[in-house]
Amino acid sequence: MVRRRCPLDKRTSRDHMGLLRRVFQYRKSLSVNRLVAFLGFLLLLIAPAAGQTADLKLVVLGDSLSAGYRLGPDEGFPEQLQKALGEKGHSVEVVNAGVSGDTTTGGLARLDWSVGEDTDAVIVELGANDALRGISPEISRQNIEEIVRRLRERGIEVLLAGMLAPRNLGPEYAEIFDPIYSEVAKTHGALLYPFFLEGVALDPDLNLSDGMHPNAQGVAVIVERILPKVEELLANAQSS
């Protein structure tokens, strides 16, 4: 069930209105400094409630590809996705739960505290570091499957962002690794975006100097391409 986050409920609204009445009632007897201090305190009371206006909470559980590695504060995937969704009229809070260098094992280990109880949907973007380190695809599969299974058991909608194995690991590795995401998504009723770096991988204009991590322009391409799937994810969360 979607948890609506109303910025001010009726009781809170009455409390704030009462405080405002006090300000105007006693404004003649208050010094300027006391009045400013009182108004500042009032804003502190209202600010936490006003910050809880989003209808849905979307967590991006990922590694450096989604965490914003070497990017500015507004250039990472969660931040650009937040902006794009807002421009499309979606009331959603996008939370960056990306950890640079994380493997599927690390993602599974921190799953419960990275994805809070008030989460409605999760984008799972993990596995690139498994492949880079040559970790057994069976281990990656077990971890990804457990992550998705546990999220789905909690009633959380999931979009699984797929990854492809580096071809220098050989065709046998790729044949086992690449299908993990589609098969896990099908088994557990999750949405699938087949390749997170689609349209960005190997393009020097869209990646940092290391050739592996997207730059701000590359992230923008990812957001544009994945946006329809994210909107489908939010629609599922809204209706669940």
Residues in the chain, how many? 240
Kindly list the distances between the CA atom of residue 27 and the CA atoms of 14, 15, 37, 39, 44, in Å, as whole numbers in the listed order: 20, 18, 12, 11, 19
Q: Do residues 121 and 159 touch, judged by C-beta distance below 8 A?
A: yes
- Quick one: which of 136, 154, 223 has its CA closest to 190? 154
3-state secondary structure 140-172: HHHHHHHHHHHHHHCCCEEEEECCCCCHHHCHH
Catalytic residue list contains 102: no
State phi, psi for 50 to the nearest 5 degrees.
Answer: -65, -25
Catalytic residue list contains 188: no
CB neighbour list of residue 203: distance below 8 Å, 6 or more residues apart = 218
Catalytic residue list contains 90: no
Half-sphere exposure of 73 (CA within 13 A, CB side): 0
Residue 77: other Cβ atoms inside 10 A: 28
* Annotated active-site residue in 63, 64, 66, 90: 64
* Annotated active-site residue in 29, 31, 210, 239: 210
Which amino acid appears at position 223 of this protein?
A: V
Which tokens sit at 65?
A: 């590809």
Which H or E run includes 25?
helix 10-25
- Which residues are catalytic, by number? 64, 210, 213
